[in-house]
Amino acid sequence: MLLAPRPESPRSDPTPAAHDRVYRGLRTRIMHGAIAPGQALTLRGIGAEFGVSMTPAREAVRRLVAEGALQLSSSGRVSTPELTNERIEELAALRALLEVELASRALPRAHMALIDRLQTINASIGEVIEAHDAVGYIRTNLEFHRTLYLRAQAPAMLAMAETVWLQLGPTMRKLYGRLQRRETPHFHKLIIAALKAGDEPGLRLAVRSDVTQGLRMLTT
| CATH, residue 143 | 1.20.120.530
Q: How far apart are CA 9 and CA 25, in angstroms?
A: 22
- Rounded Cα–Cα distance for residues 119 and 216 (Å): 26
How does 131-155 read in b/e, with b if 16+ C-beta sit within 10 Å?
eeebbbbbbbbbebbeebbebbebe
pLDDT at 217: 75
Closest alpha carbon to 144 in 173, 159, 122: 122
218 CB-contact burial (10 Å; exposed 0-12 / middle 13-18 / buried 19+) = middle
Claim to verify: residue 135 and residue 199 sit in the same structural domain: yes
Please give the helix or strand (H or E) that residue 78 lies within, else none. Answer: strand 78-79
Which of 59, 79, 99 corresponds to the end of one domain? 79
Interatomic CA distance for residues 59 and 78, integer angstroms = 13
Residues 66, 102, single domain; the answer is no
CB 170 within 8 A of CB 80: yes
> How are strands ordered across the β-sheet holding 78-79?
40-41, 78-79, 71-72
Q: What is the CB-side half-sphere exposure of residue 98 using CA atoms within 13 A?
A: 23
pTM for the full predicted model? 0.87
Show the DSSP H helices in the chain as ranges. 17-31, 43-50, 54-66, 85-106, 112-130, 134-149, 155-179, 186-197, 200-217
Give residue-wise pLDDT tens across range 68-126.
999 999 888 999 988 889 999 999 999 999 999 999 999 999 999 999 999 999 999 98
- 79 in helix, strand or coil? strand
* Dist CA 171 CA 168 (whole Å): 5
Q: Is 23 helix (H, G, I), strand (E, B) or coil?
A: helix
Under the banding of pLDDT at 50, 70 and 90, the label for residue 130 is confident
What residue numbers bound the domain in which 211 lies?
85-217
What local confidence, expressed as pLDDT, does residue 3 receive?
Answer: 43
Question: Residue 175 pLDDT more than 90?
Answer: no
Instruction: Give dist(CA 41, CA 206) in Å, integer.
Output: 37
Amino acid identity at 183: E
For the ranges 70-79, 128-137, 156-165, the one whose mean pLDDT is highest: 156-165
Residue 93 lies in a domain: yes
- Based on the fold, state whether residues 62 and 142 are members of the same structural domain: no
User: Is 7 contained in some domain?
Assistant: no
11 with 51: CB under 8 angstroms? yes
Q: How many domains does the chain have?
A: 2
